Amino acid sequence: MKQQASSWQTINEVGMKPKLTRFADHSFFAFTSQLSNRLIRDAQARDFPDLVALGYWLRNANMQKIAEQYESQLIRPLGHVFHAAPGNVDSLFVYSGILSLLCGNVNTIRLSSKVGGSADVLCDILAELAPEHPEVSARFQLIRCERDDPKLKALQANVDARVLWGSNEGIKALKSVETPAHCRDIVFAHKISFSVLGIDALLRVDKPTLQQLVEDFARDNLTFSQQACSSAKWVIWQGNEEHLAEAQNIFWTALLAYLSSEKGRSKYKLTESERYQALNNAQDMAMAGVVSGQMHAEQVVRVWAKQLREDFSEIHRGAGLFVESHVQQLQELNRYMTPAHQTMTYWGVEDVHEWLKDCLVGVDRVVPVGQALNFDVVWDGVDLVTALGRVNSQ
């Protein structure tokens, strides 16, 4: 049988042998600072909110601040780290790759075949910067290849750590690939997130605050067509149920008006295919008894669920579909939480952090509405700097 030709493509080849370096090496800051400037100023990059956000995260002041948090620890590199990039958010692979660079590691990042758009723009910029930063680029190699490429499997047989982003099925497939016994796997599998809105606060909200709320909500959940793991698929109304319908009307009327405006349409227009997917998904969940048959289908699709089944996170497909529920108190959420629940955004809700002390399963992040997509060094409950480095005891 004729062996299949390799599809291996290196995006930012510089022809240098990559070498480990010290934590927070000066060349790291020179590279991230220039990459930040390019992402913020590049005309094509400005068309993609994820690249703009990445550019601001990479600013020298922020990179220095992150490094300073770990100054008291003696962090040394793990070695060669393989990153399997996710397919849902094009630029997400950069965050773990940059933090691994900070730790002094050599990195090989396989881009998902699903990525495009902002990932292509980002790859072009990284390729252009490679000759100016050959040592750093040699430690930050981007590749495109098939998942079963023999060279990719051979590479993983010799790495010191892997950062695996993907679906549950994809993660299981990656875990079946042979790696050294000492290899450290950092896994980011399928997650689902939710938003809690305070009923009483919405009844008292003024027009400017309401407008800011719906713009923040849209940015959190529709920037990537609801495909980001931290975008809410479940909206929970907390408070007096007697005023639920009034609060819903205030919020959804304002959100739909924003999505219909010129500003909203230019940022968050869902495709006809995505709209069909949301409607079909809602109908499937209704037939399975996961949600009630009542549906509101406008710019986004809304359905009601009195109680959620454990398989809810597996069957929700995003694309502008919001499942709504009600709780009187936050403690009522505890019985629904699973390890798959990642980010909780909230608005108009009190005692959130007190509740979190007693919620022992799920919920890795709790942030105000508008901050769901903000990346932090701690992601899914994992401190990526310490996970991607060797912390020496002294």
Domain coordinates of the chain in residue numbers? 9-190, 192-368
- Mean of the pLDDT values across residues 4-32? 85
Q: Distance between CA atoms of 201 and 136, rounded to whole angstroms?
A: 49
Q: What CATH superfamily classification does 9-190 receive? A: Aldehyde Dehydrogenase; Chain A, domain 1 (3.40.605.10)
- Mean of the pLDDT values across residues 190-207? 94
Structure confidence by residue, pLDDT tens digits, 64-113? 999 999 988 889 999 999 999 876 666 777 899 999 999 999 999 998 76
Structure tokens at 99: 């933090």
pLDDT at 2: 37
Pairing of strands 365-368, 378-379: unpaired
- Specify the 3-state DSSP secondary structure of 333: helix
pLDDT at 115: 60
Q: For residue 310, what are the contacts with CB-CB under 8 A and spacing of at least 6?
A: 338
Q: Distance between CA atoms of 244 and 202, rounded to whole angstroms?
A: 10
CATH of 192-368, one of 3.40.1390.20, 3.40.50.300, 3.40.309.10, 1.10.10.10: 3.40.309.10
Do residues 300 and 259 lie in contact, with contact meaning Cβ atoms separated by under 8 Å?
yes
pLDDT at 3: 42
Q: Distance between CA atoms of 353 and 350, rounded to whole angstroms?
A: 8
Instruction: Tell me which residue of 187, 191, 200, 195 sits closest to 371, measured CA to CA.
Output: 195
Q: Distance between CA atoms of 58 and 225, rounded to whole angstroms?
A: 24
**Burial status of residue 177 (CB atoms within 10 A of its CB: 0-12, 13-18, 19 or more):** middle
Q: What is the pTM of this model?
A: 0.84
Q: Distance between CA atoms of 115 and 45, rounded to whole angstroms?
A: 15
